[in-house]
Amino acid sequence: MNAKKRNIMIDLTSLLDVILILLFLILMGASQSVSRMQESEAADEARIAELTSDNAALLEEKESLRRSLDGYIYLDAHARIITIYVNDLQSGDREVCIESGVDKRRFTLTWQNAAVVRTALSKALTGMCETPETDGGDQIVYLLLRYDRNRLYQADYALISDVIAGVKGAKQNVFSAEYDVLEEKANE
């Protein structure tokens, strides 16, 4: 029996081939995994650079908005905007509206009461232009006439313009501007 055991020879060549093939496959898979990781790293670096650029742009925009807000805060303390416009009523009459923040006043305008509305409008605007002094003197008031030239009667425009001119003439701190909303619609 001992003689038979000694003559047994085990051939490990095929096992060694299988082990080498498996080792080759593992190394190839690891190589592909490393390539994917390098590509992912490059994409991540590009994304980081993009986000850094976006962050810089957002910080610049934030500072710009902060400066604008500071300007609006200053204007709110030292200036007042009063908007004047005309609405058409269902009855065919018109309504002259004055707005300044939460202060809103409305006057119904007909062909018969134009003189009464002129007086009331002048009195209301003069009262709204009375402003307390700020650290730089009187507060500046802007009267903004907002209208649609296709819907505003010439007589109404003349009445409102005359009242605005009268208020401006009486007060040095009052300025005015006109804004045709039809031009805004054309630009859209």
Alpha-carbon span 138 to 131, nearest angstrom? 7
pTM over 0.85: no
Q: Which residue has the higher pLDDT, 48 or 188?
A: 48
pLDDT at 3: 54
pLDDT at 71: 85
First CA to last CA distance, the chain: 106
Share of the chain above pLDDT 90, in %: 37
Helix (H), strand (E) at residue 99 = strand 94-100
List the domain boundaries for the chain.
78-187
Helix (H), strand (E) at residue 170 = helix 154-170
- The answer to whether the CB of 161 falls within 8 A of the CB of 128 is no
pLDDT tens-digit readout, 24-34: 888 888 888 88
Q: Which fold has domain 78-187?
A: Nucleotidyltransferase; domain 5 (3.30.420)
Nearest to 131 by CA among 181, 79, 88, 166: 79
Alpha-carbon span 87 to 105, nearest angstrom? 13
pLDDT tens-digit readout, 48-64: 999 999 999 999 999 99
Alpha-carbon span 162 to 142, nearest angstrom? 16
Alpha-carbon span 185 to 97, nearest angstrom? 21
Mean pLDDT, rounded, for 14-25: 87
Res. 6: pLDDT tops 80: no
Alpha-carbon span 106 to 86, nearest angstrom? 9
pLDDT tens-digit readout, 69-105: 988 888 777 888 899 999 888 888 889 999 988 889 9
Confidence class of residue 133 from pLDDT cuts 50, 70 and 90? low
Mean pLDDT, rounded, for 155-175: 91
Beta pairing, strands 103-109 & 137-138:
unpaired
